[in-house]
Amino acid sequence: MPGARGVAAPLMLSALLLHLARASLPAGCLRVSDILSCSNLGLEQVPMWLPATAATLDFNHNRMVRLEEDSFVGIPHLITLRVAHNRLSSLAPGTFRNSSSLRHLDLSSNHLYKVDNHYFQELVGMEELLLFNNHIARVESNALISLRSLRKAYLSHNRLTDFPFFSIQEHKHPFLVTLDLSSNRMLKLPLEDISALPASVQSGLFLHNNSLVCECAMYSLFRMWEQKGFVSVQDYREEHTCLVYGEPRASVQFLQHTRFFENCTVKAQNLLGETMSNLQVYAGHSGLLQCQTSLKGRHLTYQWVTPHQEYIVPPGNNNAMRMYANGSLEITGARLEDSGVYWCMVQDHQQSRNETHEVNVTVIVHRYEVEPFNTGFTTLLGCVVSLVLVLMYLYLTPCRCWCRKPPPLPATPSPAYECSAQSSILVPTPPATTEGPGRKVSNSKHVVFLEPIKEAQNGKLREASASDQPKPHAPRGDAGSGGSFFSDTTVVP
Question: CATH homologous superfamily of domain 275-364?
Answer: Immunoglobulins (2.60.40.10)
- % residues pLDDT > 70 (the chain): 68
Q: What pTM was estimated for this model as a whole?
A: 0.58
**Span 86-91, average pLDDT:** 95
Burial class (CB in 10 A: 0-12, 13-18, 19+), 207: buried
Where would I find the beta strands (DSSP E) of 234-339? 241-243, 251-253, 275-282, 287-289, 300-305, 311-312, 316-317, 321-323, 329-331
**Span 446-453, average pLDDT:** 47
**Which pLDDT tens digit goes with each residue over 57-74?**
999 999 999 999 999 998
Could you tell me how far CA 31 lies from the centroid of its own chain? 44
Residue 464 confidence (pLDDT):
43
**Span 455-465, average pLDDT:** 45
Q: In this predicted model, which residue has the larger pLDDT, 315 or 8?
A: 315
**Mean of per-residue pLDDT scores for the chain:** 76
Residue 295 confidence (pLDDT):
77
| Annotated domain spans of the chain | 27-261, 275-364, 413-493
Residue 311 confidence (pLDDT):
78
Judged against a pLDDT cut of 70, whether residue 287 lies above it is answered with yes
The matching CATH number, chosen from 3.30.230.10, 3.20.20.70, 3.40.50.2300, 3.80.10.10, for 27-261 is 3.80.10.10
Neighbours of 298 (CB within 10 A): 6
pLDDT band at residue 257 using 50, 70 and 90 as cut-offs: confident
Q: In this predicted model, which residue has the larger pLDDT, 248 or 26?
A: 26
**Which pLDDT tens digit goes with each residue over 387-426?**
888 888 777 756 555 555 666 665 555 444 444 444 444 4
User: Which of the listed ranges 82-86, 167-171, 308-312 does the model predict with the highest average pLDDT?
Assistant: 82-86
pLDDT band at residue 276 using 50, 70 and 90 as cut-offs: low
Produce one character per residue of 270-293: b if its CB has 16 or more CB atoms within 10 Å, e if not: ebbbbeeeebebeeeeebebebbb
Q: In this predicted model, which residue has the larger pLDDT, 181 or 1?
A: 181
pLDDT band at residue 271 using 50, 70 and 90 as cut-offs: very low
Q: What is the Cα–Cα distance from 203 to 180, expressed in whole angstroms? A: 11
Residue 174 confidence (pLDDT):
83
Residue 110 confidence (pLDDT):
97
**Which pLDDT tens digit goes with each residue over 184-195?**
999 999 998 898
- Contact yes or no for 54/78 (Cβ under 8 A): yes
Residue 440 confidence (pLDDT):
44
Q: In this predicted model, which residue has the larger pLDDT, 256 or 432?
A: 256
**Span 177-182, average pLDDT:** 95
Tell me if domain 27-261 and domain 275-364 are identical in fold: no
Judged against a pLDDT cut of 50, whether residue 318 lies above it is answered with yes
Judged against a pLDDT cut of 90, whether residue 165 lies above it is answered with yes
**Span 333-344, average pLDDT:** 83
Q: What is the Cα–Cα distance from 216 to 493, expressed in whole angstroms? A: 111
Residue 459 confidence (pLDDT):
44
User: Which of the listed ranges 14-28, 48-62, 295-309, 358-372 does the model predict with the highest average pLDDT?
Assistant: 48-62
Residue 410 confidence (pLDDT):
58
